[in-house]
């Protein structure tokens, strides 16, 4: 009970999250999502997300404090996602954090959303061995990172050059007539399908691509290949085998993600791989990464699915790490930065 009590606020996309942690212990994780409001648009609409955050931030804050059985006065520091993300959405969280910090005279820490996705794993599996490789795969980002220290030493190794992995899941789901966000539906459909039934392309894995884009991803070619294949079936008046398409598509994504993440581990001589972000909830990705990693003596750490998607706990977890590492708080003119680098 000596460790500081940290509150984290997340509003970078469509989830309003407030988490409270003490050290590596999660005390509360309150969430309000605007995902249903975006469903009919097939993607997150920034203006809709900002408005939803405005409406949800105070009630979500209250819920988190109540769930943890504490008051704002008990909190030692407030961490908030200051980027990257949707500008207007980020602004709501940053403004709220500053307001609460000013009112209650608490230090505020602006944190990077990607680093927070990695930090959340410490709530489940304890301190992260250093160095580690982290792979973040969500609707907004697909990145490989080298993590020497969560506070100051997170280095990007590669990222998607077009669609994010989750975006590809969502677009292919739409093509197959599945609801938004499509990742979980593809995951479910794929269980009844044959992953080897259709050979879909593996982006940026050809020898020439491995030189300039060793740790980068590309999913738009795969998405187009799936679209062509499905159109071909429809034009021929044949039924689309949804489960097989889902399984073959998912296999291609997981194959590339796992392959590049493990290559990064091996080439850097690192034996810990952390996978986070919404797509880390994918059952095939979790199984494939675990199986392949075993061959190289690499340990895969993946937070439970509920902590993989955006939430306030991940921000609080990173905040706790920064406070413990003696990092100085942000200034109160901390800006929201939609393209915040690591
Ligand atoms: O991390 P997240 O909640 O929000 C972003 O920061 O984007 O990730 C959302 C993404 C969506 O694209 C969703 O389809 C995908 O994660 N996702 C999945 C699964 N669950 C969520 N993708 C594949 N398989 C899943 N089981
Ligand atoms: Zn995220």
Atom 18 (ligand 1) nearest CA: 183
Interval 18-28 mean pLDDT: 97
Q: Are residues 264 and 207 in the same domain?
A: yes
Q: Tell whether 192 is covered by a domain.
A: yes
329 falls within a domain: no
Distance 12 CA to ligand 2 centre (A): 8
Percent of the chain with pLDDT over 70: 100
Q: Is the pLDDT of residue 38 over 90?
A: no
The reply to whether 74 and 196 lie within a common domain is: no
Tell me the CA end-to-end span of the chain in Å, nearest whole number. 31
Domain around 15:
5-120+311-324
Structure tokens at 167: 């975006």
Does the residue 36 lie in any domain?
Answer: yes
CB 64, CB 298: distance < 8 Å: no
- Judge contact between 180 and 170, C-beta under 8 A: yes
Q: Please report which confidence band the pLDDT of residue 315 belongs to, taking 50, 70 and 90 as the band edges.
A: very high
- Which tens digit of pLDDT belongs to each residue from 70-91? 999 999 999 999 999 999 999 9
Residues 206 and 240 in one domain: yes
What does the pLDDT read at residue 273? 98
Q: Are residues 252 and 315 in the same domain?
A: no
Does a structural domain hold residue 71?
yes
Q: Looking at the domain assignment, is residue 331 inside a domain?
A: no
In a domain, 335, yes or no: no
SS3 category, 4: coil
The verdict on whether residue 38 carries a ligand-binding annotation is no
The domain that holds 296 is classified in CATH as 3.30.420.40
> Are residues 149 and 11 both part of a single domain?
no
- Report the C-alpha gap between 57 and 79 in whole angstroms: 14
- Ligand 1, pocket-test mutation among 15, 170, 278, most atoms within 8 A of CB: 278
Comparing 151-155, 183-187, 198-202, the range with the smallest average pLDDT is 151-155
H-helix or E-strand spanning residue 110: strand 108-112
The two three-digit tokens of residue 218, written as one number: 């590309």
Alpha-carbon span 153 to 164, nearest angstrom? 24
Number of the ligand 1 atom closest to the C-alpha atom of 140: 7
- Report the number of distinct structural domains present in the chain: 2
Residue 216 CB–ligand 1 contact under 6 Å: no
Mean pLDDT computed over 245-253: 98
Pairing status of strand 5-10 against strand 15-22: antiparallel
Indicate the SS3 state at residue 187.
helix
262: in domain: yes
Please check the confidence at residue 184 and state whether its pLDDT lies above 70: yes
pLDDT grade for 37, boundaries at 50, 70 and 90? confident
Shared-domain flag, residues 44 and 109:
yes
The percentage of residues in the chain with a pLDDT greater than 90, rounded to a whole number, is 92
State whether 136 and 94 are in the same domain.
no
Q: What is the C-alpha separation between 31 and 60, in angstroms, rounded?
A: 6
Atom of ligand 1 nearest to the CA of 182: 14
Q: Would the CB of 277 count as within 6 Å of ligand 1?
A: yes
Ligand 1 centroid – CA 7 distance (Å): 24
Determine whether the shortest distance from the Cβ of 184 to ligand 1 is under 6 A: yes
Query: How much is the pTM?
Result: 0.93
Residue 251 Cβ < 6 Å to ligand 1: no
- Known binding residue 112? Answer is no
Contact 183 CB / ligand 1 (< 6 Å): yes
203 & 62 share domain = no
User: Does position 1 have pLDDT exceeding 60, yes or no?
Assistant: no
Q: CA-to-CA distance for 16 and 58, rounded, in angstroms?
A: 10
Q: Is 23 annotated to bind ligand? A: no
pLDDT tens figures, 258-296: 999 999 999 999 999 999 999 999 999 999 999 999 999
The answer to whether residues 99 and 166 belong to one domain is: no
| 111 and 193 inside one domain | no
In a domain, 100, yes or no: yes
Q: Are residues 320 and 297 part of one domain?
A: no
Do 254 and 146 belong to one domain?
yes
């Amino acid at each position: 009970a000596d460790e500081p009590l940290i509150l984290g606020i997340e509003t970078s996309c469509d989830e309003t999250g407030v988490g409270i942690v003490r050290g590596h212990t999660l005390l509360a994780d309150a969430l309000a999502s605007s995902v249903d409001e975006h469903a009919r648009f097939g993607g997150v609409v920034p203006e809709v997300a900002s408005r939803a955050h405005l409406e949800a931030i105070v009630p979500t804050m209250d819920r988190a404090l109540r769930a943890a059985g504490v008051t704002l006065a008990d909190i030692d520091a407030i961490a908030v996602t200051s980027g990257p993300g949707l500008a207007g959405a980020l602004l709501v969280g940053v403004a709220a954090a500053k307001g609460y910090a000013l009112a209650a005279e608490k230090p505020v820490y602006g944190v990077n959303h990607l680093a927070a996705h990695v930090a959340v794993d410490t709530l489940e599996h304890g301190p992260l061995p250093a160095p580690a490789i982290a792979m973040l795969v969500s609707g907004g980002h697909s990145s490989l990172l080298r993590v020497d220290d969560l506070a100051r030493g997170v280095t990007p190794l590669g990222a998607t050059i077009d669609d994010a992995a989750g975006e590809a899941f969502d677009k292919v789901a739409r093509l197959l007539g599945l609801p938004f966000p499509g990742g979980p539906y593809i995951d479910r459909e794929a269980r009844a399908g044959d992953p080897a039934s259709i050979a879909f392309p593996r982006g940026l894995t050809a020898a020439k691509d491995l030189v300039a884009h060793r740790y980068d991803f590309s999913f738009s070619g795969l998405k187009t290949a799936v679209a062509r294949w499905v159109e071909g079936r429809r034009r021929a008046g044949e039924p689309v085998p949804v489960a097989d398409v889902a399984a073959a598509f998912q296999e291609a994504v997981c194959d590339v993600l796992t392959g590049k993440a493990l290559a990064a581990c091996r080439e850097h001589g690192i034996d810990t791989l952390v996978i986070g972000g919404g797509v880390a909830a994918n059952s095939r990705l979790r199984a494939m990464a675990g199986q392949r990693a075993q061959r190289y003596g690499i340990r895969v750490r993946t937070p439970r699915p509920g902590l993989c998607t955006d939430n306030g706990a991940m921000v609080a977890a990173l905040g706790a790490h920064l406070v413990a590492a003696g990092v100085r708080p942000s200034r109160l003119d901390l800006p929201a930065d939609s393209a915040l680098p690591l």
